[in-house]
Amino acid sequence: MTPAIVMRAASPEAWLALLLQGARELGLSSLDLIVDQAGIGSRWQRRLDTQHPPLALLQATPHADAADEGPVLVRLPVQQSQLRLLKLLRQWRGQPRVLALLGDWPFDVLAQRLTLCLQASWDKGLQQGVLRYHDPRLFAAVVDALDEPRRQLLLEPAAQWHWLDRDGHARMLDAAALRAQPPLAWPEETMPLDQRHIDALSSWHLAETWRRDYLLTPAMYGLDSEEELMRRLARAHQAADKARLWSEPERMPLVESLLQEGVG
């Protein structure tokens, strides 16, 4: 499943209009947002007129100690003026803060599914952590890393998933085809990940760390896209893993050579 760019350089005003129009076209009465409130506290919640009290998705999980710094689900009426939301989107512009869902699941059922998908486990359940699919920078990478059952588990609650990418473009993943299937029955209380899932997601974590530590910019490699830079970095770290280059000095020549492809 490939996300589509539906609007380039989307302003907060244009993106909100796109979301509300999309909800109306699908016959929805509400718009769901997952807001990452890390570093901003919860006061923003009181500025919105929501259909349900905002819900911290980690509060009833083993990761409850991080609930106040984690994702919060809010449901807003489509037919009501969303000037307060617009002010927040303007305030958060350029931050990886909001993932939007267009779907019709009951709020409580949606919250349960989203909470389940946040709870990753691996190493036969001995290890647990938070699957940060709600981060707009990682959503597409998470979807791509998952196999079909896990992908359906995450995506089927919404017909469309929307976010702003690193370049400020509005992207959308159409999951309507999954809704034609019966809802997935899932016996687990977590989303178990195999080693291949862990490896794919780790490459994106390494890419983000590498980009930050070495102050990498697209222009250094003849690129004009933050998204393309990150894609190349993640692919380079996957190649380094396959080559069994584990230390940073070992990885450096291969990563740099793959980043330099096409330069000059």
Structural domain boundaries in the chain: 4-193, 196-259
Q: What is the pLDDT of residue 111?
A: 98
What's the CA gap between 71 and 59, in Å, rounded?
Answer: 10
Per-residue pLDDT band at 120 (split at 50, 70, 90): very high
Which amino acid type is present at position 61?
T
Per-residue pLDDT band at 17 (split at 50, 70, 90): very high
Q: Is the pLDDT of residue 180 over 90?
A: no
C-alpha distances in Å from residue 175, one per residue of 162, 180, 183: 11, 10, 13
Q: What is the pLDDT of residues 192-212, one digit of tens each?
A: 999 999 999 999 999 999 999
Question: Which has the higher per-residue pLDDT, 138 or 181?
Answer: 138
**What is the rounded average pLDDT of the residues 168-173?**
98
Q: What is the pLDDT of residues 233-261, one digit of tens each?
A: 999 999 999 999 999 999 999 999 999 98
**What is the rounded average pLDDT of the residues 7-33?**
98
**What is the rounded average pLDDT of the residues 8-26?**
98
Q: What is the pLDDT of residues 132-162, one digit of tens each?
A: 999 999 999 999 999 999 999 999 999 999 9
Per-residue pLDDT band at 264 (split at 50, 70, 90): very low
Per-residue pLDDT band at 125 (split at 50, 70, 90): confident
